[in-house]
Amino acid sequence: MSINDRGYPDFDLPDRVTASSPEQLRALADPLRSTLLDLVLERAATINELAAAVDRPKSTVAHHVAVLVEAGLLRVVRTRRVKAIDERFYGRTGRTIVISPTHADASQPATISLLAEAAAEAGGHPDLRCTLRHVRIPAEVADTFWARVMDLADDLTRQTRAGDTVYGFAAGLYPTAQPTQPEPPPEEHHE
C-alpha cells in the first residue's frame, strides 16, 4: 500500500497522546525536537532522513530522537535491513500531542515554547492570520470550546500533504486578569 493510498502519516497511530510528565514537557520544549515531531507527522523517517531535513549532524539528531523515544513521544514504527544493519523508521506516538492542563503548569517551558515558537515563526509574515479574544465564561464552557479547537487541529493534521507552503497553527486558551464589566443593576420598573 502506498503512502497516497493510506493517507498521512504512513503508519497507524492514535489521534491524541497526552504529555504531562516533566520528562515529556522538557522533551517538547526544545525547538529541534518539536521540528522532528512535525516531520514524522507526515511520514515515518530514519535518523539519516531527519538529519538531512534539518541540516544537522546525524549524531545530534540521534540524541534528540532518543530523548523523544524515552519520553514516549516517538517510537520505531518499522525497520528495514540495509547492508546487515537494521535501519529504524521513527513515527509519533499520537497525531496530536496534548499538554495536559491537569498536570502541566502553564509556566512550564513546553507550553511557553509552543507559543513563543509560533510567534517567532509568524512574526511579520504577510500571510499571518490571527485573532485574540477575551471573554468571561464558565470553566465548563472553556473546556467544551477547547475540545472543539482540538478537533479542528486534528482535522488540520489529517489534510493531504500538497502545495509548497507549510502553515503553522497555534491556539491557546488561558485564564487572564483582563478586566470585566460589573454585573448590570437589576432593571428598574417604570410606570
131 or 70: which leads in pLDDT: 70
Using the 8-state DSSP alphabet, how is residue 45 labeled?
B
Hey, where are the domains in the chain? 3-157
The predicted pLDDT at position 54 comes to: 92
Residue 6 has pLDDT above 50, yes or no: no
Packing angle of the helix pair 58-70, 31-42 (nearest 10 deg): 80
What fold characterizes domain 3-157?
Arc Repressor Mutant, subunit A (1.10.10)
Give me the phi and psi of 78, to 5 degrees please. -170, 165
Who's near 104: CB < 8 A, 6+ residues apart? 19, 20, 25, 110, 111
Torsional class of 105: left (φ above 0), alpha (ψ -120 to 50), beta (otherwise): beta
Q: Is 56 helix (H, G, I), strand (E, B) or coil?
A: coil
List Cβ neighbours of 173 (8 Å cut-off, separation of 6 or more).
Answer: 142, 145, 146, 149
Q: Could you say which DSSP state residue 136 is in?
A: -
Least-confidence region, from 19-28, 152-161, 174-183: 174-183
Confidence of residue 10 (pLDDT cuts 50, 70, 90): confident
CB atoms within 10 A of CB 36: 27
Rounded Cα gap, residues 126 and 168, in angstroms: 14
The mean pLDDT of the chain is 80
